[in-house]
Amino acid sequence: MAEALLSTPHLLGIKQVTAEDMETIFKTADGFKDVINRPIKKVPSLRDMTVANLFFENSTRTRISFELAEKRLSADIVNFSASTSSVKKGETLLDTVNNILAMKVDMVVMRHPHPGACVYLSRHIEAKIINAGDGAHEHPTQALLDCFSLREKFGHLKGLNVAIVGDILHSRVALSNIFALKKLGANVRVCGPPTLIPTFIKSLGVEVDYNLKSTLDWADAVNMLRIQLERQEIRYFPSLREYTMLYGLDRELLESLDKKLVVLHPGPINRGVEISSEVADHEQSIILDQVENGVAVRMAVLYLLAGSN
Ligand code: CP
């Protein structure tokens, strides 16, 4: 297991971590991936720590993955869901978290609909904070597990051509992936309808392409994103049917390419919209590898942050 710690006391976003931090997380996750594939999947690393999982927004993968990672590290866990809490009675975020911390919690994993919510918390409380997704801002552990999965598949990220396709405007996964991939030396191209690609994106050093076929011809791997209808207050394209025709990845298109393009998806998948069922379950899809790697990567993040000051 890697002993080097991280340069940051919290994981608020990929913007705040270095390439060296990410390499340390990946090497540590390599060790934890071995652990979770052993008959005895538990290690005592966080035996004396209590972690609170605060989810103010829906989640399946991230919440379960963090909980499993914490259990594999032998931490004590407190789970909080906004929908069944006193937040509904008007309690502020800071009061909610301070009440939980008064019960002697060491680390907080938080998902929140407001961008910057984790940064705000980190300035007001003593516990270590891990951002599990804040609005359309960042989703750092998703980007780490995506990059870890690409590293596992290709052996490296430097010089790799990675396309991110879909609703870039509303996607925290896209922003965190762009920061991570660029820091690790990959080339990034985003693709989608012009209305779903923010103009600032080019300033992050990524290419923009509005044509799916030319994007896929260029890419070694593609990360297909969901259309985030829950974050859209206006219509950004005429219909989902038209979106699928122009930006959906189906088996015919995938198999027409002159290479074995690797397909990622952060989930949740909308089968038949951004990705067909045949592609989601295709041998070139590494979607379930991403989910498995998520546990090892989150174990690494928890372990390294627990040991840093
Ligand atoms: N990828 C992801 O964040 O999925 P959940 O919203 O289910 O956690």
Mean pLDDT of 71-79: 97
**Is there a contact between 139 and 133 (Cβ–Cβ < 8 Å)?**
yes
Catalogue all structural domains in the chain, each as residue range(s) with its CATH number.
Answer: 14-138+292-307 (3.40.50.1370), 140-290 (3.40.50.1370)
Categorize the per-residue pLDDT at 100 as very low, low, confident or very high, splitting at 50, 70 and 90.
Answer: confident
How does DSSP assign 6-52, residue by residue?
-S-SSB--GGGS-HHHHHHHHHHHHHHHHHHTSSS----TTTT-EEE
Q: What is the pLDDT of residues 163-183, one digit of tens each?
A: 999 999 999 999 999 999 999
Categorize the per-residue pLDDT at 2 as very low, low, confident or very high, splitting at 50, 70 and 90.
Answer: very low
Write down the residue that tokens 């038949």 correspond to: 272
Strand partners, 190: 164, 208
Distance 258 CA to ligand 1 centre (A): 32
**Ligand 1, CB cutoff 6 Å, lining residues:** 59-62, 133, 139, 142, 266-268
Helix (H) or strand (E) run with residue 133 in it? strand 128-134
- The DSSP call for residue 132 is E
Write down the residue that tokens 């392409």 correspond to: 209
What is the percent of the chain where pLDDT is above 70?
96
16 token code pair: 């705040």
pTM for this entry? 0.94
Q: What is the pLDDT of residues 129-168, one digit of tens each?
A: 999 999 999 999 999 999 999 999 999 999 999 999 999 9
Q: What is the pLDDT of residues 254-272, one digit of tens each?
A: 999 999 999 999 999 999 9
The three-class DSSP label of residue 304 is: helix
Distance 72 CA to ligand 1 centre (A): 20
Q: Parallel, antiparallel, or unpaired for β 221-224 and 262-264?
A: parallel
